[in-house]
């Protein structure tokens, strides 16, 4: 009887799996060059930043990712305009503090 072949580890990208969010976003940015890549870029960025985990399974398109981010951004701005928060992070949504920092709104 012959032993089974070892698993194909060369098809599993360990760098992608263990890389930081910042590094993964940088790699994604280097991959995308054309306007045709924009939808892919938005969807993958949503995955990397944890946005898609807040979306329904059938509603994870680039449009839905942007809608979620902009809704969270508007809520964030509204809280800060009302003077309700001194901290610039939205504690109701994990990951949005990282996104706020990336767009220059975080501490």
Q: What is the tens place of the pLDDT at every residue in 42-96? A: 999 999 999 999 999 999 999 999 999 999 999 999 988 876 555 544 445 555 5
How far apart are the C-alpha atoms of 63 and 75, rounded to whole Å? 18
The pLDDT of residue 107 is 46
List b or e across 22-33, with b for residues whose CB sees 16 or more CB atoms inside 10 angstroms. eebbeebeeebe
Q: Does residue 33 lie in a domain region?
A: yes
State yes or no: pLDDT of 101 exceeds 60: no
- Examine residue 81 and state whether it is found in any structural domain, yes or no: yes
**Number of structural domains found in the chain:** 1
**pTM for the whole thing?**
0.63
How high is the pLDDT of residue 46? 96
**Residue 74, in any domain of the structure:** yes
| Residue 8 resides in a domain | no
Q: In this predicted structure, what is the pLDDT of residue 64? A: 97
> How far apart, in whole angstroms, are the C-alpha atoms of residue 36 and residue 78?
34
Q: What is the pLDDT of residues 19-30, one digit of tens each?
A: 899 999 999 999
């Amino acid at each position: 009887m012959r032993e089974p072949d070892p698993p194909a580890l060369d098809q599993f990208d360990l760098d992608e799996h263990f890389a930081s969010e910042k590094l993964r976003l940088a790699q994604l940015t280097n991959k995308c060059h054309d306007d045709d890549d924009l939808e892919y870029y938005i969807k993958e960025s949503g995955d990397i930043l944890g946005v898609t985990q807040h979306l329904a399974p059938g509603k994870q398109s680039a449009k839905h990712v942007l809608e979620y981010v902009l809704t969270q951004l508007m809520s964030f701005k509204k809280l800060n305009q009302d003077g309700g928060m001194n901290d610039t992070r939205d504690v109701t949504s994990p990951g949005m503090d990282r996104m706020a920092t990336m767009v220059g709104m975080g501490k």
